[in-house]
Structure 1
């Protein structure tokens, strides 16, 4: 059965939301709560909770596509998750292997829907079988970014190592060229956009080392629902929250960018940056003290 927004809530609700509100270009998900779902529903083993989570992800990706969200990033597996029991980790890797093999088998259908995938993370930590599937699925222009195995610290460490090699071994990078822009071009996400909206399920109010560089100006939305129970209406609530908060922030960011281009005075730029930070703190929107995405 094809799961769409129409199945969940009706075509009218989907079209109304898409027409009346500004939909974010890029939404990122921290898919949390699979294990608690398995325990709450007495599924016998946590891997069945992860299976339900994969099934729900397929629905959510279709809803996002129908609503006009052009890029989605999902936190599929943290490097920290390798510290869990070998039974759970092995089960997750087997499940991922099966799902990726299925994606390969359905490649033509995905191409018809204009859905493609990119993979972010330390791929070398995965099994040869998974790496092979990822190499076959991965495209340079992804609509869905799958982070596994991933942490933001590892991503930045690999970016810095890439810059070090570029400067010391290859001689392509001058010290004066090291900048925020160069760092961003060395990250896994260099071919994508920064998330406008970050959604985390299960009630946990932390980012868990997920896209810390990229989400410096994202609106962060926390929902108490467990990931396998995240419905179309939960997605609508998150989008409404984004709509409510994004307008004033975007106006201020635009003012800052324009001001930066026409006034080279660094002290005035700093004052504007402080004003932006104050506005975000006052409205409870500041999730990171840096404004790394406000590039001149």
Structure 2
């Protein structure tokens, strides 16, 4: 009986997604998964993050079935390390457990051939989590399916500062090579190749191999970006549905894409004017 029901659900989703595909399908959706702790408090469970992970797996499946090529999630901010030590440790333990699960043979990662990225200051993670993160990126690096980017120990300001630092180091090395090749100081100073540009910064962002998000969704009704993808969100369609993250479902995702499709002509027009 459950198999029949599952097959009917799959058929329904295929029909629904084929209708959606008449309009523009976003290449990249980013999620701020807000509301796990409030969900736990409201439902009187020990942690909402475990339920939130189940919601994430479902949302990833729907996104990839629709045709979304990139999904980025805000999993843990650098600011979250300021929470109670036992809460941080519990979250880190759960994160390691779930990353390891994603690498199992029958996981969604292997089903769809997902390549996993982890963006952030990974040195802030404890050794166990960092090793799992590195293993996930290494084991999926050759996958050719959709891309899942997990922002962990991340803030956008830290990402931008990191990109500036890397760009400056690159330019310093370039200037050293130019001096070694006999260029005069005056020529070096005027050479535009030694100046840090927007292109240089974007090359050193964590997101350098991903397009900017078409949609950024923050659940729980909050309207703040909370230091998430500030550089990349200039033309993103920002949405703040009211469900808490563990409650976010297929119908909310479909509504988000429909809202994006309605706004698409305006977003395209604004983007062209800025080019």
Task: Establish whether TM, by shorter chain, passes 0.5.
Answer: yes
Q: For residue 62 of structure 2, what is the aligned residue in structure 1?
A: 63
SS in 2 for 1:211: coil
Given that 2:119 and 2:154 are in contact with CA atoms closer than 8 Å, whether structure 1 keeps it comes out as: yes
Q: Which is worse superposed, 48-57 or 172-181? A: 172-181
Contact 1:5 1:62 (8 Å CA) reproduced: no
* Match in the other structure for 1:24: 26
- After superposition, the C-alpha distances for 1:209-242 in whole angstroms (9 at most, x for unaligned) are 0000011111101111100000100011111111
> Gaps (5+ residues) in structure 2?
179-187
Q: Does the 8 Å CA contact 2:235/2:271 hold for their aligned counterparts? A: no
5+ residue gaps, structure 1, are: 257-272, 274-293
C-alpha contact 2:118 2:151 (8 A) present in aligned 1: yes
1:8-31 Cα offsets, whole Å, 9 max, x none, are 96432232222x221101000000
Give the paired residue count: 253
Which residue in the other structure is 2:239 paired with?
Answer: 221
Q: CA deviation at 1:168?
A: 2.8
Larger Rg: 2
Q: 1:187 to 1:39 in 2, by over 3 A?
A: same
Within the candidate set 230, 234, 238, 2:252 is matched to 234
Q: 2:264 aligns with which of 222, 241, 246?
A: 246
Residue matched to 1:157: 161
Root mean square deviation, CA, Å:
2.6
TM-score (norm 2): 0.84
Q: Are residues 1:125 and 2:133 paired?
A: no
Q: 3-state DSSP class of the match of 1:225? A: coil
Q: Which has the higher contact order (CA 8 A, sep 6+)?
A: 2
Q: Is the 8 A contact 1:9 1:233 kept in 2?
A: no
